């Protein structure tokens, strides 16, 4: 049995370490500079991985981008939901904590907004795989929010989840563009009022 099969998340190739390294490092560049604005030659310089190797792992730039988005979905969603979980709060408070985790993210150095909002902005055709993958990412978050809203005893958990997600996306855009000094705080207060309206305070 090949030990490499156990490393990382990719199973299509025998030695995925280089591939994973490429995905991770490309993610950083795409996130910082954008998809169209980043050329393959830039990736060679920034990742230190040869162009030949890149095109051995991914047939096209688009394939690489899709792998980057898959990786981002996995890591970001894991990080976000686990951060929520680790706070070990009652469900109602957990809904609010969404916006505390969000603020943590906004305060990270190098924060540049949501990779999926940007992907859907650069690949606007709704049928484009980068677009559909981005939509799917948001659906998965929505579903997690809904399950939280149910546990919190919301009268209409689906609606509450959608509204909290709207607040979250709005806060991300505000943080990215910088037109609000504390979008996470404003969103948190709004969420509090919403939760109050959805879940009568015992």
Partner DNA sequence: GCGAATATGAACAGATCGGTACATATATCG
Partner DNA sequence: CGATATATGTACCGATCTGTTCATATTCGC
How many CB atoms sit inside 10 A of residue 38's CB? Answer: 18
Q: What's the rounded Cα separation, in Å, for the pair 85 and 72?
A: 19
Q: Which residues in this chain contact a second copy in the complex, by CB under 8 A?
A: 32-34, 36-37, 112-113, 116-118, 120-122, 124, 126, 131, 134-135, 138-139, 142, 159, 162-163, 165-174, 176-180, 183, 186-187, 189-190, 193-194, 196-197
Cβ atoms of 103 and 185 closer than 8 Å: yes
Interface with DNA, residue 119, by CB under 7 A: no
Q: From DNA, a second copy, none, which one binds at residue 4 (CB under 5 to 8 Å depending on kind)?
A: DNA
Q: From DNA, a second copy, none, which one binds at residue 18 (CB under 5 to 8 Å depending on kind)?
A: DNA
Q: Figure out which of the listed residues 7, 28, 32, 56 binds DNA, where binding follows CB under 7 A.
A: 56
Q: What's the rounded Cα separation, in Å, for the pair 94 and 104?
A: 15
Q: Figure out which of the listed residues 9, 11, 32, 50 binds DNA, where binding follows CB under 7 A.
A: 50
DSSP per-residue letters across 2-60: -GGGGSSS--SSS-HHHHHHHHHHHHHHHHHH-STT--HHHHHHHH---HHHHHHH-SS
Residues lying near DNA in the complex (CB under 7 A) are found at: 2-4, 13-15, 17-19, 38-42, 48-53, 55-57, 59-62
């Amino acid at each position: 049995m090949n030990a490499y099969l156990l490393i990382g998340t990719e199973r299509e190739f025998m030695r995925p370490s280089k591939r994973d390294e490429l995905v991770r490092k490309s993610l950083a560049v795409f996130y910082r500079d954008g998809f169209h604005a980043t050329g393959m030659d830039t990736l060679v310089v920034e990742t230190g991985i040869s162009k030949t190797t890149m095109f051995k792992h991914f047939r096209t730039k688009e394939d690489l981008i899709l792998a980057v988005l898959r990786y981002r979905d996995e890591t970001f969603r894991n990080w976000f939901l686990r951060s929520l979980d680790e706070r070990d709060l009652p469900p109602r408070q957990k809904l609010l904590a969404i916006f505390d985790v969000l603020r943590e993210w906004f305060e990270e150095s190098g924060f540049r907004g949501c990779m999926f909002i940007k992907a859907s902005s650069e690949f606007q055709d709704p049928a484009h795989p980068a677009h559909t993958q981005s939509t799917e990412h948001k659906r998965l978050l929505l579903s997690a929010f809904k399950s939280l809203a149910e546990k919190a005893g919301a009268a209409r958990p689906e609606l509450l989840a959608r509204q909290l997600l709207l607040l979250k996306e709005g806060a991300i855009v505000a943080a990215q563009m910088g037109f609000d000094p504390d979008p996470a705080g404003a969103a948190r207060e709004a969420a509090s009022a919403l939760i109050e309206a959805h879940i009568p305070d015992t």
